[in-house]
Structure 1
Amino acid sequence: MKHLTPTESHAFLQAHPEALFVDVRMELEYLYVGHPPGIVHVAWYEYPEMQPDADRFVAQVKREAGGDLHRPLVLMCRSGTRTLPAGAALEAAGFDNLINVLHGFEGDADANFQRGRLNGWRHDGLPWEQM
């Protein structure tokens, strides 16, 4: 899996319109915190279980990718860490062109445990929308 900053990921997506952009956060995060326009939502895990179902996740991503294991997949979560096990599950299933968006949508927490102040998709001023 490659690791690109949000700005690099956005540039990659612009240059590769065939890429599938996948948000692996929970539905509440996707809807209420916000998300990039055009991103596909496939949760790695959901509340209240908070346990991934890798087979379900891989099957959903495979459907969204049209079964193409070579299609570029750009994965994003809150801070860039949930995408690591999600990406590993996809690689184990045969996907071979994965990109992790470093710092995710909200970015790393600062000294006051607040996100969005140091880095991340929103911090970098990239397009996003909110319900």
Structure 2
Amino acid sequence: MSRSYKGDVTPAECWSALDSDEPAFLVDVRTSAEWNFVGFPLAPAGRPQPLFAEWQTYPSMSIDGSFAPRVAEAIKASGGSETSPVFFLCRSGARSMASASALTDLGFANCFNVLDGFEGPPDEEGHRGQIAGWKAAGLPWRQK
């Protein structure tokens, strides 16, 4: 599978970009159920907070055809543009790659996938969030 987005970054690289002077955006593409029950990332203080946009709609998990235009509009409404860095985050990486490609196809030049997502792969006991990803990297997050 070829990718059309700019590249992959670690959660720490994403955090560093979000904390820089350049406007950068984090888009959490997981489902509302995941945000509510698993938790969600926070952005550095004084920076734009993450955008929450389901790539696939729970429970059918059908891809939201209006995803890219809605995210593009939200980024522009928050002061971003087609050249702003945009980082996509899901549970473990697959949905964020697809959504980064979708926004790239819409003309955004700097879309990135956050490697290992919010929770990363399961550990030897089947638990996520322990060995890789946003949570395991010790980056700020919250659970409702």
Using the size of structure 1 for normalisation, the TM-score is: 0.91
Structure 2 gap segments, 5+ residues each: 1-5, 43-48
Match of 1:61 among 60, 64, 71: 71
**Percent of aligned pairs with the same amino acid:** 37
Q: How far 1:16 sits from its partner (Å)?
A: 4.3
1:110 aligns with 2:115: no
Moved more, 111-120 or 33-42: 111-120
Paired position in structure 1 for 2:19: 14
Q: Distance in 1 between matches of 2:98 and 2:15?
A: 22
Paired position in structure 2 for 1:32: 37
Give the root-mean-square deviation of aligned CA atoms.
Answer: 1.5
Q: How far 1:73 sits from its partner (Å)?
A: 0.6
Which is strand-richer, 1 or 2?
Answer: 2
1:23 aligns with 2:32: no
Q: How far 1:22 sits from its partner (Å)?
A: 0.5
Q: Distance in 1 between matches of 2:36 and 2:22?
A: 23
Structure 1 gap segments, 5+ residues each: none
Deviations 1:37-66 (A, max 9, x none): 221101101112211023x10111011111
Secondary structure (helix, strand or coil) at the match of 1:65 reads helix
Aligned length, in residue pairs? 130
Runs of 4+ residues deviating >3 angstroms: none
